[in-house]
């Protein structure tokens, strides 16, 4: 069966190369009994791929069961998968078959496989390697013929390194990996999917399908879609039901997209209602942004000065003097010392200095400044207080923080204003 026929049969919309490749791998592996691991973010449609593999396999007339391993409590997951005997634990009033017994001859889709406990992982490894299992509370080994298709939205390889997932089970499951691309990786399919969902919901609710303006389409393409196809479908349904005008503009669409995902830039103080704890966090973050920008500016200036020295070695004394004056103006608290080198007195500050011998570019040494964030933050606060002659309110406003945060920083750094 070709890729387009599979898309039509299972209602898959899209033509991105990554999606087509995933479908091609699924069709090729379907006729085998190999274990498949489907990886991808939440909401990309991993279960559909498991259904495709089962439907195209020789097991298609046998049972297919999808199990969400993350939704089963740790204390009962072994019983759910492998069954239990009567009286094996409190509440086990009867014997019960597990999924590996009831799905014998069919396919078991294990979603969120990364959530299974380590003890269950050991039992699962035995099933995959020897096709046998033991019920909870029993000593009798039973055989089963079940094809396992697993799925996860986690990085299982990293989980194995953190001892949260068995390495041997990971490689046993990962016989054939299929990676389902996120919606961000198949932007060419976003508008097609939205249009399909809009038509479907218009038929369901007996109304006209909504249409996007060019501005709204651009917003759709630039939105990150953390919930992928599932999120896109939900938003299409919301707009179909709640929108008064069937022509959706950018402003209309913005009302339905989560605000915290639209704007990934740092929030400015006063841009919206926040709790006191959130406000304090944002204020401290703003200070750090200012510090980083100042550091970047200082590094840029140092690069320019160094370039001048390399290009014009004869101007080293004057450049050093300019550098000293510049840093004394910007950082009045810098400690000054006198360093004697071969009879020449060279001013030394807490900032990077170029130490030269006989005014020649021999054995040039760059002394690194301290990049401690707390030191820079303290210096910035002191500078603001001096600028505004000790007025905390004005200093806090200039720093972009609240007066309360400034007061706490003064006590933390033992600054006297």
Closest listed residue to residue 140, CA positions, set 76, 83, 77: 83
Average pLDDT over residues 346-366: 43
- Measured from the Cβ of residue 4, the count of other Cβ atoms closer than 10 Å reads 12
| pLDDT > 70? residue 291 | no
Ranges 123-132, 168-177, 361-370: which has the least confidence: 361-370
Indicate whether 290 pLDDT > 60. Answer: no
Domains annotated for the chain, with CATH where assigned, are 3-181 (3.40.50.300), 184-262 (1.10.8.60), 266-417 (no CATH)
DSSP letter (8 states) at residue 131: S
Q: Give the tens place of pLDDT for each residue, 195-231.
A: 999 999 999 999 999 999 999 999 999 999 999 999 9
Q: What integer best gives the mean pLDDT of the chain?
A: 81
Task: Read off the pLDDT band of 266 (50, 70, 90).
Answer: very low
Query: What's the mean pLDDT in 18-22?
Result: 96
Q: Which residues contact 131 (CB under 8 A, 6 or more apart)?
A: 143, 144, 145, 146
pLDDT at 92: 80
Q: For the whole model, what pTM was predicted?
A: 0.62
Burial of 245 (C-beta count, 10 Å sphere; 0-12/13-18/19+): exposed
Tell me what pLDDT residue 314 has: 58
Per residue in 131-166, pLDDT (tens digit) is 999 999 999 999 999 999 999 999 999 999 999 999
Residue 57 C-alpha from the chain's centroid: 35
First-to-final CA distance of the chain: 78
C-alpha atoms less than 13 angstroms from C-alpha of 337 in its C-beta half-sphere: 9
Residues 36 and 80: beta-carbon distance below 8 Å: no
Res 289 pLDDT > 60: no
Residue 288: the pLDDT is 59
Alpha-carbon gap, residue 289 to 266, rounded angstroms: 9
C-alpha dihedral, 33 to 37 to 42 to 43, nearest 10°: -30
Helix (H) or strand (E) holding 271: none
């Amino acid at each position: 069966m070709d890729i387009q026929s599979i898309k039509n049969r299972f209602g898959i919309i899209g033509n991105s190369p990554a999606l087509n490749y995933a479908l091609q791998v699924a069709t090729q592996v379907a006729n085998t009994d190999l274990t498949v691991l489907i990886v991808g973010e939440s909401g990309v449609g991993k279960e559909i791929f498991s259904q495709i593999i089962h439907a195209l396999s020789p097991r298609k007339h046998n049972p297919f069961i999808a199990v969400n391993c993350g939704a089963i409590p740790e204390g009962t997951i072994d019983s759910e998968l492998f069954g239990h005997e009567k009286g094996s634990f409190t509440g086990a009033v009867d014997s019960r078959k597990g999924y590996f017994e009831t799905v014998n001859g069919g396919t078991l889709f294990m979603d969120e496989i990364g959530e299974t406990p380590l003890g269950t992982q050991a039992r699962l490894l035995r099933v995959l390697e020897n096709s046998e299992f033991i019920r909870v509370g029993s000593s009798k080994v039973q055989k089963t013929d079940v094809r396992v298709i697993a799925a996860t939205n986690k990085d299982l390889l990293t989980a194995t390194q953190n001892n949260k997932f068995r390495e041997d089970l990971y490689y046993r499951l990962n016989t054939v990996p299929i990676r389902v691309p996120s919606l961000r990786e198949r932007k060419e399919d976003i508008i097609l999917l939205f249009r399909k969902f809009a038509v479907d919901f218009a038929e369901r609710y007996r109304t006209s399908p909504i249409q996007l303006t060019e501005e709204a389409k651009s917003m759709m393409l630039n939105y990150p879609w953390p919930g992928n196809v599932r999120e896109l479908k939900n938003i299409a349904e919301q707009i179909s039901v709640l929108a008064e005008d069937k022509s959706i503009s950018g402003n209309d669409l913005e009302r339905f997209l989560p605000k915290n995902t639209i704007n990934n830039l740092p929030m400015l103080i006063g841009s919206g209602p926040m709790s006191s704890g959130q406000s304090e966090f944002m204020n401290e973050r703003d200070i750090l942004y200012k510090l980083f920008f100042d550091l970047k500016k200082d590094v840029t200036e140092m690069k320019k000065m160094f370039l001048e020295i390399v290009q014009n070695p004869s101007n080293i004394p004057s450049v050093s003097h300019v550098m000293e004056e510049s840093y004394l103006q910007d950082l009045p608290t810098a400690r000054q010392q006198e360093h004697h080198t071969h009879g020449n007195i060279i001013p030394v500050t807490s900032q990077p200095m170029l130490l030269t011998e006989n005014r020649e570019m021999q054995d040039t040494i760059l002394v690194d400044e301290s990049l401690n964030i707390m030191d820079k933050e303290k210096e910035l606060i002191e500078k603001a207080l001096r600028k505004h002659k000790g007025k905390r309110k004005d200093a806090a406003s200039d720093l972009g923080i609240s007066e309360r945060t400034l007061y706490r920083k003064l006590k933390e750094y033992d600054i006297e204003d």
